[in-house]
Each structure stands twice: as structure tokens, then as C-alpha cells.
Amino acid sequence: MVLDMASDVNEQSFVDANGYKVINNSYYFQHLNNFPINYKGTCGLVALSILLGYYDTFYDDSYIPQSLQYSEEIYDNNDNLIAINQNVDVFNRVYVENYTNSKFDYTSQSEMPGTTQAFHDYLFDKFLVTLFGLNWIYDLVDNGYPMTASNIEEVLYAYLTDNAYNLKGYTKHYDKSLLNDVNAIKKLIDMGIPVLLTIINYDYTVKPTNLNSSNSILANAHNVIAYGYKDDTFIVHMGWNSQNDEYNKVYLNESYIYDFMAINFIGEHEHSMNFYGYDDYTQEEVGYCSCGVILNKHQHSFSYIKIDSQTHKAYCSCGQYYIEAHKFKIDKFNKFCTKCLYSRKTIGGDIDETIYNCKRKQ
């Protein structure tokens, strides 16, 4: 794969306080704990679930249909099936409470929206593709269902065909076995694109702040999401332990990367309501898009009526009101309020007490 930098470059990354180049939306991955648990050794599907949740939140709300529900299987720590929950939403939205700013800042929230176990199980039951078709390997070893980047890409496009067909043409993909060439991954991160990595023979310690060659415990293969880099090290979300942020910012040496895949949305941004709340006046649902736009929030439309020669009352149909001084404007013969249109003569005569009711947006 060769990146067409002339057409693809769009500066959507920055250098953080530690000198790492990270995508602009790196805060999302650093605080993302809404994602499926890897019960079955299907880290490829967990990583794809994380990636689709990201694109649904930041680019187009159609990546994951709001109406989609599926059953989910829950296992205990000994891999025993303990529950099957029916008709579960495949996406966890995040409730925003008492937000008063006119523009939404998603980094003001400590919880990020994302996919559920039901979404993972939907992908597993409907679209699973594995390395050489080894769907039976989970019964033989503990490694689960091995998936290369190309396998994950097959799952992605099968899923889009069934659930978001209109987005297939706007979802550009990148993938390649690297053979130790990581420049393409770095270029994608420069462009603000998170990258799904397949890593092999990586080292893991009890304190998972670093994955490097000095550690002694080996694991075979895993899929992670990279969203930053510096020199030969990448920052990744491991897709583990969705109860805290411990595994959301792990430093990975590039020597463990086997291949990768990434997607880039090239269509028009469609607002998301993955952050939501309720309007204080109408009690209707309000959406807070990650781009900053607030959707369906009541906008006051005020009418004005004179109280006396100095003030008028502004009132909205929702019950909100306030009292303020007239906003006078003077023409050749009259002085009139630009809000309630109360007027009086400026040259002789009595004050004209005529009241005009006029609806105007403030």
C-alpha cells in the first residue's frame, strides 16, 4: 500500500506534552472503557468494535445503527457461561448532565461512548473470518480466533454491507504486512487516523505501562488500536479490562508489529447523539456531538410587551422571561424601542402609549 499523501494529508494530529505525535481525538481512546470484553480470544473483533465506535462518534452516526440490538453472552473468570441477555443495545451512549455551554467539548466528560458485548457477539455470529478459516482453533489452544488485518477488513465490509451500505463508498481502507516498515502507520497517525495493529510475540508484564524487549513473559498475538507514536514506540489502546483506564495508554515497541489496517471516512460529517441529555424546558432529548454542535436544544423565541415607559418584559413560550430597559432608537419625530416597539414623540405632544406585540428571536 502506498499512501497518496497529496490527497490524504489533513493535519489532524499534534505533539503532546511528552513529545508523542497523537491524533487530535486521542482523549477518546485514553478514556474509552465502553467496549466488549475479550472472552473468547477474539481480540480482532474487540479492536474492530472500538474502531467502529470511534467512527460512529466522530464522523457519521450511521456506522452503528441506533436501532440495532442483539443477544450477549456473559462469562465468569473461569470462562463459564453465566448469562445470556436478550435484545441488548449494541452501543452505549453517554449521559451528559447539567451542560450549560453553548458549544459542546467532549473532553469535559470522563466517560466515552462505545460498543457493547452485544455488538461483539453480533460480529462474531454473523461475520467472523479468521486466519486460514481456523474457527475451530479456540477448542484446541488458548489463543482464540486468529485474525490478520485482511481478515478484520473482510469482517468490516461484510458488516457495512448489511448495516451501513451507504458508508462503504466513504470508508477508505489501508492495510499491509509491514516487514518492519512502520512509516505508513506513522503517516496515518499524522493524518489523525487511528490504526488497528496486529502484534506478535510481544512481551507483557504485570504493570502494563510498557511493552518492550526487556520483559520476560511472552504472548503470541493480539490486536490493538494505535493513536500516537514517538521514534520506535507507539501509544496503543489494548482492548483489555474495560473497568478503568489502565490499559488505554500502553507504550508498544514497533518491533512487535506484524501488520495493520485502518479506515478513513471521506464523506460529509454527520452529527452524532452518542453524548446526550435532556432539555431543561422541553424535557426532550438533546444530542451533544463530538464536533461541538448541540442538537435539539430549545432555542428561546421571545415576545416583548411594555411594562412602563422605562422597561419591557421578554417572554418565551417555554415560560422563561426577563425584564429589561427599552432599547430605544430615535428617528426624526419619534423615539421607539426596537424590541417591544413602544414609542413616544421626540418633538412636542404627549407620549404615545400604543403597545405592539412582536415576536422576535433574541
- State whether 219 and 332 are in the same domain: no
Q: Which residues touch 126 (CB under 8 Å, ≥6 apart)?
A: 158, 159, 162
In a domain, 290, yes or no: no
- State whether 99 and 170 are in the same domain: yes
- CA 303 distance to own-chain centroid: 39
For residues 111 and 34, is the Cβ–Cβ distance under 8 A?
yes
In a domain, 105, yes or no: yes
- State whether 209 and 342 are in the same domain: no
251-273 tens-digit pLDDT: 998 988 988 999 999 999 999 99
For residues 194 and 93, is the Cβ–Cβ distance under 8 A?
no
Average of per-residue pLDDT across 119-147: 74
In a domain, 344, yes or no: yes
pLDDT for the residue 241: 75
pLDDT at 121 > cutoff 80? yes
In a domain, 275, yes or no: no
Query: What is the DSSP code (8-state) at residue 218?
Result: B
Measure Cα distances from 349 to 214, 328, 334, 352, 354 in Å. Answer: 95, 18, 11, 9, 14
Instruction: Take residue 124 and report the three cell numbers written for it.
Output: 462474531
pLDDT for the residue 315: 85
Give the domain extent around 336: 302-360
In a domain, 288, yes or no: no
- State whether 238 and 162 are in the same domain: yes
Q: What is the CA radius of gyration of the chain?
A: 28
- State whether 239 and 309 are in the same domain: no
Confidence of residue 114 (pLDDT cuts 50, 70, 90): very high
197-224 tens-digit pLDDT: 998 876 554 334 444 444 433 457 889 9
Is residue 148 classed as helix, strand or coil in its secondary structure? coil
- State whether 238 and 118 are in the same domain: yes
Of 246, 265, 284, which residue sits at a domain end?
Answer: 265
Q: Per DSSP, what are the bridge partners of residue 73?
A: 84
Question: What is the β-pairing status of strands 94-95 and 275-278?
Answer: parallel
- State whether 34 and 180 are in the same domain: yes
- State whether 206 and 60 are in the same domain: yes
In a domain, 177, yes or no: yes
- State whether 230 and 340 are in the same domain: no
pLDDT at 310 > cutoff 60? yes
How many domains, the chain?
2
Q: Can you tell me the distance from the alpha carbon of 337 to that of 212, in angstroms, rounded to the nearest whole number? A: 72
pLDDT for the residue 195: 96
Out of 31-45, 199-213, 335-349, least confident range: 199-213
Query: What is the DSSP code (8-state) at residue 21?
Result: E
- State whether 247 and 318 are in the same domain: no
Of 240, 265, 290, which residue sits at a domain end?
Answer: 265
pLDDT at 164 > cutoff 80? yes
Of 211, 238, 265, which residue sits at a domain end?
Answer: 265
Left if phi > 0, otherwise alpha if psi is -120 to 50, otherwise beta: which for 195? beta
In a domain, 286, yes or no: no
The residue assigned the cell 457495512 is: 160
In a domain, 297, yes or no: no
- State whether 350 and 219 are in the same domain: no
Query: What is the DSSP code (8-state) at residue 59?
Result: T
Q: How many residues does the chain have?
A: 362
Q: Can you tell me the distance from the alpha carbon of 36 to that of 23, in angstroms, rounded to the nearest whole number? A: 23
